[in-house]
Amino acid sequence: MANNSVSLFFSWESLGDLEIGRPNLGLMAPVLIYRLMHYSVKAVLGEKFGPEATKEIFIKAGQVAGETFCHHLLNTRLTLDEFLVELKKKLLDWKIGILEIEDIQRHSMDMTLTVAEDLDCSGLPVSDKTFCDYDEGFLAGILKVYTGRDFLVEEIDCWATGDRVCRFRVKIQDVT
């Protein structure tokens, strides 16, 4: 994981041994319970810090999770095509969502990705805003570990804005 202050408070090991801790209930929990935690935390942070700071916090948390996910569950020694196939499989296996690559420019790493049946928003009522701040960070964190570069991931379509998939524009972030 990246060397930053977050690593002082979080590590893969801090997730515990779920096979020992949940011998009867197993590793999976309903999406409803995930969303209950996710949205209640988002609401409390939004009330305390405002919507912009809350979005930044969720993007950063997603990035930390994405970096950790990649370090522990993905093979970063694969070619880009092999890595994306493995990523699609892992997201499906862990029931995070159904990833598709709509467009990719291999030389610049510009991509358009979609995620169907996304944990964060699939099934929400239509509103005027996207919901998947955490996913933006999650995808950016995975790609950062794989490439060693910072990425800007922006959700451009969302289930909550009327689409039936979440669509993300992905670009390498210019560090100036």
pLDDT in tens, the chain (176 residues): 444 556 667 888 888 898 999 999 988 899 999 999 999 999 999 999 999 999 999 999 999 999 999 999 999 999 999 999 999 999 999 999 999 999 999 999 999 999 999 999 999 999 988 999 999 999 999 999 999 999 999 999 999 999 999 999 999 997 65
Report pLDDT for 14. 87
Q: In this structure, are residues 73 and 86 in contact, taking their beta carbons and an 8 Å threshold?
A: no
- Comparing C-alpha atoms, which of 172, 167, 141 is closest to residue 154? 167
The pLDDT value given to residue 63: 97
Predicted pLDDT of residue 174: 75
What's the confidence (pLDDT) of residue 11? 86
* Domain with 30 in it: 5-172
Q: How many domains in the chain?
A: 1
**Residue-wise over 83-107: b if at least 16 C-beta within 10 A, else e?**
bbeebbebbeeeebbebeeeebeee
pTM over 0.85: yes
Q: What is the CATH number of the domain that holds 25?
A: 3.30.1380.20
Q: Which two tokens stand for residue 54?
A: 């809350």
- Per-residue pLDDT at 3: 47
Query: With contact defined as beta carbons under 8 Å apart, do 103 and 37 qualify?
Result: no
Could you give the strand order of the β-sheet that contains 98-105, starting from the edge strand earlier in sequence? 98-105, 110-116, 166-172, 151-157
